[in-house]
Amino acid sequence: MTALASRAEHFAQALLQEPLPRRWAHVLGVAARARSLAPVLGADAGLLEAAAWLHDIGYAPGLAVTGLHALDGARYLRDAQHADARCAGWSPTTPAPSSKPANADLPTS
């Protein structure tokens, strides 16, 4: 686990484990699945795992404002944690993601 993923895990745990134990159990499963992809992703594996840990923090009491957990979590990461665009959504100065399919660069065999 990378330092970024470890920080994300502890952060998400503090926000979700006690008040939302079922949501926390879900996040544990998503993070495990993300970690299993590390051999395929190489250098981006830590970023994917961090995103897996953080993907549901917008459900946390105190962060849920708009009713859209992805938006609430991203806003919190951007505003309170000063996360960059990789963790808090796309900013106007960040290029849009590629339009090719997510698996376009994977071997076909």
pLDDT in tens, the chain (109 residues): 888 899 999 999 999 999 999 999 999 999 999 999 999 988 889 999 999 999 999 999 999 999 999 998 988 888 877 666 655 544 434 443 343 444 444 445 4
Domain ranges of the chain: 3-88
What pLDDT is recorded for position 86? 58
- pLDDT at position 84: 64
The DSSP-derived string for 36-81 is HTHHHHGGGHHHHHHHHHHTTGGGSTTT--SS-HHHHHHHHHHHTS
Q: Name, in order, each residue with C-beta under 8 angstroms of 78's C-beta and a sequence gap of 6 or more.
A: 88, 89
CA dihedral 93, 60, 46, 27 (to 10 degrees): -130
Residue with tokens 């939302």: 20
**Could you give the 3-state DSSP secondary structure of residue 88?**
helix
Q: Which of 52, 10, 45, 8 is nearest to 28 (CA)?
A: 52
> What is the pTM (predicted TM-score) of this model?
0.74
Query: Which pLDDT does position 85 carry in this prediction?
Result: 60
